[in-house]
A and B are shown apart, each in its own frame.
Chain A
Amino acid sequence: MTGPVSAPLIEVRDLTVDFPPGPSGTGSGVRAVDGLSFSLAPGRALGIVGESGSGKSTVAGALLGLHRGTGAEVSGSVTVDGTDVLGAPPAELRRLRGGTAAMVFQDPLSALDPYLAVGDQIAEVHRTHAPKVSRRAARERAVAVLDRVGIPDAARRSRARPHEFSGGMRQRALIAMALACEPKLLVADEPTTALDVTVQAQILDLLHELRAETGMGLVLVSHDLGVVAGSVEEMLVMRDGRAVEEGPVGRVLDAPAAPYTRELLAAVPRLEAPRARPPAARGEVLLEAVDVRREFGRRGDRTVAVGGVSVAVTEGETLGVVGESGSGKTTLGRMLVGLLAPGGGAVRYRGEPLRGVRPGLQMVFQDPVSSLNPRRSIGESVADPLRAAGRLTDREAGARARELLEQVGLDPGWYDRYPHEFSGGQRQRVGIARALAPGPKVLVCDEPVSALDVTTQAQVLDLLAGLQRELGLGLVLIAHDLAVVRQAADRVAVVRRGTVVEQGPVDTVYDTPRDPYTRHLLAAVPVLDPAEATARRAARTASATATTPAEPEPVGA
């Protein structure tokens, strides 16, 4: 407000952020951001990309002075719309936060107060920056912005509490909160990471539209190059707290100067990439689900998680299962390995009905963090199934576990280490080793790579493919990332709300999708080419105006 019009909206000079050892002397200090400088003109959009831990969120936070009072040591200078963020007095800082620059956080599930109505929260923030506004007017404003971000029936929904909103709606609400104060800058830290591709596309489109409408600046933080490609003009690639490459988005993606950027680009799985391996010969059917169904909850609020699905996996074959969040993929996977009893239909393993778990069917879990017991060494975790089976002596089990670790590409010497000492990709490997321990015939992998960096993703997928070849495993690969499935699966089943809408060989389904839903999904996948992205967005907007806007999303996604 105070700065001259021509002045940059953001001016970051030599920003360094150190996180000192924890307040009670834990760990060593971390230099999260190291001498970073960049600037952004008003109304422009900047994308910050980089792998996990590269310092993206720290930079985003520094723009609003969020590190003040946390013990982090910040040096350099950050100026946003003429305000010296690091040195401004508290009142001015508070005005900046929300008033000048608003932040949209990564996790929409937890970023809203669970106890208050969404509308009230937005109104509260609005009144913080416009104290003269009456309570009532603030509420009206909240409804207006909610309506603006596409919440259907905004007046009614504004009285709902966050848990009654789906993930996409919550993210919209957060954006609405930002809009309520009419900021000049929107800082969005991974605004779509937790969301489905279709919802992600909607949110990105919304941001795009709002920028066009209000002329605000945008800083978009993401680890997904595709997300950034279609939404910003400029791009900053970070690694270990430093800028690796910076420039207009088209230039960086087309002709990356830094080797790291090239590496990053190469690892991104592509929807249109041809399959890297020959299709597996269809062998004997190992595992088969026949019209399985499963419901949760009691009479009052029943959800049908899986409503009659039939799939089959043969030896040496990979079956991909794709679908949006909450479509029942995990439930199906758990039924396939016997962790969950089907509520109807049957699962057959080698022709016999499955009752309970069995060594031949194993699963690799979605979340590499919670799937390992943090209190047990990884070797113990891997050896445990062997010990439980009781066929091997303790010593033999240990030896076998080491072999397995080696097999998945881990150093057997790490046997005694604990999960927290490993990266996500390594943990996922441990999970695979453990699943292999009982000598399974079929491995169900529930989103084995969704939590991983693109580079790590590629490694894990390679590992699975190798193992499959070696052991002749039947694989079920559950994923919401369509590109991943295209790369790794032989056949694919597209799930929507607990039923399979389309099933067939990968190429057929991807190249000539028959079901509209499949087409819808494919269209929502972000692409790396900015031009292509703009074209797709136009197409999406056109079809959205043609049909009704996004269908109401299921609650509790």
Chain B
Amino acid sequence: MRFALFTTKRLVGAVLVLLVLSVALYALFYLVPGDPARLACGNRCNVEQVAQVRERLGLNEPVYAQYLHFVQGLFTGRDFPAGNGVQHCQAPCLGLSRQNDEEVTSLIAQGLPATASLALGALVIWLVLGLGTGLVSALRRGGITERVLTVLTLAGSGTPVFILGLLLLMAVCAYLQWLPFPSYVPFTRDPEQWAWNMLLPWLSLGLFESAKYARLTRSSTLEVLAEDHIRTFRAYGVSERAVVTRHALRGALPPVIALSALDLGTMLGGAMITETLFGLPGLGRLLIESVREVDLPVVVGIVLVTGAAVVIANAVADVLYALADRRVALS
């Protein structure tokens, strides 16, 4: 009950901030060079055509009116003139893409599965790798194993994703030919193919992130190992393995969980570079493309959705944290 209340409060706060954020985004992209009407119209439009397109997209209205219509659409839906009829966009309506009048919500819905697949899989990888190496290096502190692991995980974080991903692609698909070049298959169509094709994207993103988690796990494990209750169990002859797995790990997990939830949220906005590299039809790619084309409704839509995802993830992380560690009260 308290968690529910807490989460609701956080969400309400976040929605307000997100609205403010959308204002800022509107203003920012309003300033971005490139007349959206002209971009939407095409390369060789003349003045009248551009003017028509501008009117149709509602770009001739003052910015604040455009913004108000946008917010209105969010809650009540909107109608757009389309050919010989009207195109109704249901609430929550994030508007129409300026490139080809697709509904932003449907674009997001189409991009979400790939992005979610990527984020979730990468999460598993970085948790497994990060927790594993973090634990081992915490246990073998100062030893050679720790050093090797440290360098390996750092190799992940020190190599930008676009290099790491490309190297993986070339090594695994071109050189060794262990896997075909990945190309996204929706989970709903063929789960097995989905997994095989997502493997490399997962790996490159997961590896990149895992260094952070390895370090976090290592330091929080060490921190817990230095706590007094560990002393108790050692003084009672409990074996080191049990001390670590039963006691230290449990204490080391909450910060890892919290950070994971957060990263997961951020990643739902699209791991742009990974998606670009592997040709995943996800939100990140859509976002970059839309930014380039000054497709404001799509940009704002995606950023809002991501923002909401992160805020929810944040709240979830806090709740998880508090659940795992009763000493932390929700505030």
Contacts and interface: CB of A to CB of B under 8 A. Distances in A.
CB atoms of A and B under 8 A apart anywhere in the complex? yes
A107 B324 CA distance: 23
B327 A113 contact: no
A1 to B, nearest CB: 15
Interface in A81-119: 93-99, 102-103, 105, 107, 110-116
B157 to A, nearest CB: 25
B239 A97 contact: no
Interface string B250-270: 110000000000000000000
Nearest to B1: A300
Given A115-B251, A300-B2, A128 B228 contact: no
A66 interface: yes
B326 interface: yes
A181 B236 contact: yes
B262 to A, nearest CB: 22
B237 A110 contact: no
B229 interface: yes
A98 B236 contact: yes
Given A113-B247, A114-B251, A95 B232 contact: no
A125 interface: yes
In which size bucket is the chain A interface? 20 to 34
Contacts of B227: 110
Q: Which secondary structure dominates where chain B touches chain A?
A: helix
A177 interface: yes
Nearest to A95: B237
B327 A114 contact: yes
B237 A113 contact: no
Contacts of B246: 116, 124
Interface string B320-331: 000011110000
B149 to A, nearest CB: 20
Given A111-B229, A111-B231, A112-B229, A125 B236 contact: yes
Nearest to A122: B236
Given A105-B232, A111-B232, A129 B326 contact: no
A348 interface: no
Given A105-B228, A105-B231, A114 B237 contact: no
A94 B239 contact: yes
A94 B237 CA distance: 4
B242 interface: yes
Given A110-B228, A114-B229, A177 B236 contact: yes
Given A94-B237, A98-B237, A177-B236, A111 B228 contact: yes
A436 to B, nearest CB: 36
Interface centre among A64, A95, A114, A124 (most CB of B within 10 A): A114
A163 interface: yes
Contacts of A64: 235
Nearest to A181: B236
Interface residues of B, number: 22
B30 to A, nearest CB: 44
B238 interface: yes
B233 interface: yes
A161 interface: yes
Contacts of B233: 113, 121, 124-125
B189 to A, nearest CB: 42
A179 to B, nearest CB: 12
Contacts of B325: 114-115
A189 to B, nearest CB: 10
B144 to A, nearest CB: 17
A114 B326 contact: yes
B231 A163 contact: no
Interface centre among A95, A99, A107, A121 (most CB of B within 10 A): A121
A299 to B, nearest CB: 11
Contacts of B239: 94, 128
Interface in B242-298: 242, 246-247, 250-251
Contact of B326 (A102, A161, A181, A300): A161
A106 to B, nearest CB: 9
A129 B228 contact: no
Considering the complex of A and B, which 5 residue pairs feature the smallest CB-CB distances, nearest first? A98-B236, A97-B237, A94-B237, A110-B228, A98-B237
15 contacts: A94-B239, A96-B237, A97-B237, A103-B232, A110-B227, A114-B229, A115-B250, A116-B250, A124-B242, A124-B246, A128-B242, A129-B237, A163-B326, A163-B327, A177-B236
Interface of B: 2, 227-229, 231-239, 242, 246-247, 250-251, 324-327
Interface of A: 64, 66, 93-99, 102-103, 105, 107, 110-116, 121, 124-125, 128-129, 161, 163, 174, 177, 181, 300
Given A66-B231, A93-B237, 7 more contacts: A99-B237, A105-B228, A105-B231, A107-B228, A114-B327, A115-B324, A163-B327
